[in-house]
Amino acid sequence: MTARPWLLLLGLAGVLLRVRGQSAPDSTGFVSIDCGLPEQAGGYLDATTKLPYVPDGAFTDAAGSNHNVSAEYITPSFSKRYLNVRSFPGATRSCYTVPSPAPAGSKYLIRATFVYGNYDGLNQLPVFDLHLGVNFWTTVNITRPGTAQIAEVIAVAPGESVQVCLVDTGSGTPFISGLDLRPITNKLYAQANATQALVLVERCNFGVSDLSLVRYPEDPYDRVWIPWSDPGVWLEISTPEKVQGTADLRFHVPSAVMQTAIVPRNGSRTIELLWDAVPNHAYREPGLIGIVYFAELEAMAGGALRQFEMTINGILWSKVPYTPKYLISDIFFNSEPHQGYGGRYNFTLNATANSTLPPIINAAEIFSVVSMANAATDANDVAAMSAIKAKYGVQKNWAGDPCAPKTLVWDGLSCSYAISMPPRITTLNMSFSRLSGGIPSYFANLKAIKYLDLSYNNFTGAIPNALSELPFLVVLDLTGNQLNGSIPSGLMKKMQDGSLTLRYGKNTGLCSNGSFCQLTQTKSKSMLAVYIAIPILAVVVTGLLAVLLLLRKRKQKGKGSVKPRNEVGGGDDEHNMLHLDNRRFTYRELEAITNNFKTVLGQGGFGCVYDGFLADGTQVAVKLRSQSSSQGVREFLTEAQTLTKIHHKNLVSMVGYCKDGEYMALVYEHMSEGNLEDKLRGKDHNVRSLTWRQRIRIAVESARGLEYLHKSCSPAFVHRDVKTSNILLNANLEAKVADFGLLKAFSREGDTHVSTARLVGTQGYLAPEYAVAMQLTEKSDVYSFGVVLLEVITGQHPILQCPEPTNIIQWVRQRLARGNIEDIVDARLAGDYDVNSVWKATDVALKCTSQASTQRPTMTDVVAQLQECLELEEHHCI
């Protein structure tokens, strides 16, 4: 008595079946696709429905291949649609995109058909998944090679197209024979909405013993009503009279379906129907929805009564005994899916004691529900990615939605997934992708992007200014192209305020080789040439030019000019330059500024740092070279030279300089809150502790400064003396890395490390490979920064006396082995922090301080990770 699966029967039956009705009602909006039909073959009218079928080429850009099914499976009754398939070997996801014939948000019946027919000669029946857009639809399990299997779903299309994807799950190559799209009135099937779809299990037309299908045109939505009978058990009854439609406009059933019905034989007073949901890996026990249709087909003689009760899995469904109406359709349905009972839907009709006639049933539909709640990627992001994909003919796995589902994200992308928001693309990496021509504007349409890597392609022409309008862009890598022209002002500005890291080395037309950041090619020797946008640098350049040139000559490096020009500046810059030229100080002026070197702020690498005030009241810090140290000259020059070259929000910047006889000094912006070491445990120790949020923000900012030294400078710089006392804080507690006196540049491109003759740096912060083998790379700074981070977390010294001298890394590792983060966190935080944020920061710190330099992250990674710590903390509520 179990309902039999009809899916297997439909295909072969295709032509044998008689379709009732010959009129041709409106089929506007139907899309009928014969998959694998060669383009040149053109379309045709289906023999049964007279609906036009078209080849599939226009609906897919997947690299599938067309095949004919094996001749042994072809019978005269075979529908033309099943003669050929398109298969998708080697592709994880292959999609058909059908432009929505109805407005966005419309409801559709979508039907995919599959006849394997040993098209590949392998005689292996595949199993694969179907997705509707970004949501799982069903698993297609091909069980018999010669018969059609059908997947059908009723769903609301989210956008302007309907996308059906075949997903390879490792159990054979996905293929498809046909795809039908039928718009249906939105009122129908209220259970299908924007977040839930109905996958057909069975659609039965009871009481038909021949093989007549009812479908289009009798069913205007081209639903296929399958004959369902078992003459041994059921008595078929029918009427030539039309049956009126239901009063409920949410349902529609063709009269032809209602004109036949079954009643039990042999005096039985019960009809029992069983449907089993088909579980799959996404839904172990799918919820079922049933819709049953009744109409009385026999005129009742006096005293006759047909009355019954309905139960589902033993639970009474109808509140009062039910009597069908004569020649009028009526329906019962679940609103909420029926769950449990092992996925079984046991629908029983039982005549009441008063009933003189057995129960009757005319038709039924059973669906399982699937969630459609996954949102597709933001439409603008999708449009931009589609344009990029089309322009460059990207193959990779770029099919379907770029970000969703998470398991099928396109290669080279990462996305953000916020709850109840469409995913957004945050990273696009197309390095080494052989892209050529101008950089297209599509990239600038990825409005949520943070990291854009277009390095090592063949891009030519200018950098589009539109890229500077990307509000969240943090890293733009254009290294290794053939770009020319100047760097757009918008990007320059973002670089200078530290919000953007722009990499553009190895672009012959953009920067002079090797030298740092010459913004444009020198075009003329105009006297009015305006120097770099940051006026301070202009001063330093003019002022220290002699020194620098001397130094360069001595080093015989033969680098290009360090005179960066900026065409995008204006007259104001020139004005500033003249104005700021006064910022070359004499020794006398320094005496005035510092009130005779009265207040010592600290001891730098080569001398004392004094507090001072400029005439206009600006507070500054003056670093005066100690005359006793010959080493100091070199460090001074290194630092002076460096400061002309680098400028970043998180690196301390220079206000002026002094070169007056033997006196040399650098004048910096004043960092009123002193250094991080003092803030953590020095003078300010007892005043007020930094909060976790402040600490982690300081960590992010100083990491950004270091990242800039490592990644945005050409050649790259290693700071060599990263420690908490070299991280300065301004009045807003913004962190800036200071003291570039020991800074070391990698002299040649391709050098991965430098061996330095002299060990410099500070005990407790030295990376093992540097301390032992004098090998210096950016990773040495990463190590030191890891120590800084541990100090930030614990408030401890890099070397603890407890009672043996122990370094902070060991100390933290030992204590963490007990699994308790509270054991290491600075007690002065008084527990006020997001635990996840602290854990994550600790994890980053421990990775940074890995013994092997290759296991340490880059500063770029560190910035990203710490940024997440900050976000965790900021979302933390007390």
Ligand X SMILES: *[C@@H]1O[C@H](CO)[C@@H](O)[C@H](O)[C@H]1NC(C)=O
Nearest Cα to Cα of residue 223 among 102, 367, 34: 367
Asked if 752 interacts with ligand X (CB under 6 A), we say no
Binding to ligand X (CB under 6 A) within 98-137 occurs at 127
Please pick, from the candidates 23, 28, 266, 420, the single residue that binds ligand X as defined by CB under 6 A.
266
Given the DSSP bridges, would you call strands 127-132 and 135-141 parallel, antiparallel or unpaired? antiparallel
- Are 368 and 287 a contacting pair, CB within 8 Å? yes
Q: Does 499 bind ligand X (CB under 6 A)?
A: no
The only residue of 244, 346, 397, 416 in contact with ligand X, by rule CB under 6 A: 346
Look up residue 100 and give its DSSP letter: -
Q: Which of residues 305-324 bind ligand X (CB under 6 A)?
A: 311, 314, 321
CB of residue 324 vs ligand X: minimum separation in angstroms?
15
Nearer to ligand X by C-beta: 669 or 861?
Answer: 861
Q: Is 689 in the site for ligand X (CB under 6 A)?
A: no
Nearer residue to ligand X within complex by CB, 188 or 821: 188
Give the tokens for residue 619. 């507070």
Q: What are phi and psi of 550, to 5 degrees?
A: -60, -50
**Residue in the block written with tokens 């965790």:** 872
Give yes or no: 56 in active site. Answer: no
195 binds ligand X (CB under 6 A): yes
Q: Are 370 and 286 in contact (CB under 8 A)?
A: yes
Rounded Cα–Cα distance for residues 170 and 157 (Å): 28
Closest distance of CB 269 from ligand X, Å: 7
Answer yes or no whether residue 508 interacts with ligand X by CB under 6 A: no
Q: Is 420 in the site for ligand X (CB under 6 A)?
A: no
Q: What secondary structure does DSSP assign to 271-314, as a single string? A: EEEEEE----SS-SS--EEEEEEE-B-SPPPTT--B-EEEEETT
Least distance between ligand X and beta carbon 506 (Å): 12
Would you count residue 265 as binding ligand X (CB under 6 A)? yes
Q: What is residue 840's three-state secondary structure?
A: helix
**Of positions 71, 301, 353, 877, contacts ligand X by CB under 6 A:** 353
Nearer to ligand X, 54 or 127 (CB): 127
Question: Is 458 or 851 the residue whose CB approaches ligand X more closely?
Answer: 458
Query: Given candidates 4, 52, 63, 68, which one binds ligand X under the rule CB under 6 A?
Result: 68
Distance in angstroms (rounded) separating the CA atoms of residues 69 and 119: 4
Stretch binding ligand X (CB under 6 A), from 20-28, 70-78, 287-295, 457-465: 457-465
Selected from 61, 230, 236, 272, the binder of ligand X by CB under 6 A is 272
The DSSP code for 20 is P
Distance in Å, CB of 266 to ligand X, minimum: 4
Indicate which single residue of 161, 193, 238, 416 sits in contact with ligand X (rule: CB under 6 A). Answer: 193
Cis-peptide into 324, omega within 30 deg:
no
Q: Nearer to ligand X by C-beta: 458 or 595?
A: 458
Nearer to ligand X, 348 or 368 (CB): 348
With respect to ligand X, which residue has the nearer C-beta, 74 or 466? 74
Per-residue interface string for the shown chain with ligand X, residues 225-254, x marking contact by CB under 6 A? -------xx---------------------
Question: In whole angstroms, how close is the CB of 569 to ligand X at the nearest point?
Answer: 18
- Minimum CB separation of residue 567 from ligand X in Å reads 11
Q: Cβ distance 583 to 656 under 8 Å?
A: yes
Query: Applying CB under 6 A, which part among 55-63, 220-228, 266-274, 742-750 lies near ligand X?
Result: 266-274
- Binding ligand X by CB under 6 A: which of 118, 323, 460, 762? 460
- The three-class DSSP label of residue 838 is helix
Instruction: Please pick, from the candidates 48, 141, 380, 542, the single residue that binds ligand X as defined by CB under 6 A.
Output: 141
What stretch of H or E contains 813? helix 808-816
The least distance separating ligand X from the CB of residue 171, rounded to whole angstroms, comes to 6
Give the footprint of ligand X on residues 564-583 (CB under 6 A). none
For residue 167, the minimal CB distance to ligand X (Å) is 13
Tokens describing residue 209: 């013993």
Sorted by sequence, the CB contacts under 8 Å of residue 116 that are 6+ apart come out as 69, 85, 125, 126, 142, 145, 146, 175
Q: Kindly state the number of chain residues that form the binding site for ligand X, as judged by CB under 6 A.
A: 39
203 closest CA partner among 109, 341, 281, 337: 109
* Rounded distance between C-alpha atoms, residue 578 and residue 217, angstroms: 85
Binding of residue 461 to ligand X (CB under 6 A): yes
196 is a contact residue toward ligand X (CB under 6 A): yes
Shortest Å distance, C-beta 424 to ligand X: 17
The nearest distance, CB 697 to ligand X, in angstroms, is 24
CA nearest to 722, candidates 784, 678, 647: 784
Tokens coding 795: 């408030």
Distance, in Å, from the CA atom of 675 to the CA atom of 191, rounded to the nearest integer, reads: 63
Among residues 244, 350, 380, 496, which is the contact residue for ligand X, using CB under 6 A?
350
Of 13-21, 194-202, 630-638, 790-798, the window that binds ligand X (rule: CB under 6 A) is 194-202
**861: enclosing H helix or E strand:** helix 859-874
Q: Which of 721, 781, 826, 834 is catalytic?
A: 721
3-state DSSP assignment of residue 572: helix
Return the ∠ at Cα 614 (arms to 612 and 619), rounded to 5°: 50
> Out of 66, 138, 260, 329, which residue is the one contacting ligand X (CB under 6 A)?
66
Q: In b/e form, how buried is each residue of 707-735, taking b as 16+ CB within 10 angstroms?
A: bbbbbbbbbbbbbbbbbbbbbbbeeebbb
Q: By three-state DSSP, how is residue 762 classified?
A: coil
| Beta carbons within 8 Å of 268's beta carbon, 6+ residues apart | 358
Q: Does 451 bind ligand X (CB under 6 A)?
A: yes
Out of 330, 453, 589, 769, name the contact with ligand X by CB under 6 A.
Answer: 453
Q: Report the C-alpha gap between 841 and 854 in whole angstroms.
A: 19
Q: Do the beta carbons of residue 207 and residue 233 sit within 8 Å?
A: no
In terms of DSSP bridges, do strands 451-453 and 436-438 run parallel, antiparallel, or are they unpaired? unpaired
Q: Which secondary-structure segment (H or E) carries 593?
A: helix 587-593
- What minimum distance in Å lies between the beta carbon of 189 and ligand X? 11
Residues in contact with ligand X by CB under 6 A are: 66-68, 127, 139, 141, 143, 193-196, 232-233, 265-266, 272, 274, 311, 314, 321, 346, 348, 350, 352-354, 429, 431-432, 434, 436, 451, 453, 458, 460-461, 484-485, 509
The residues that are catalytic are 721
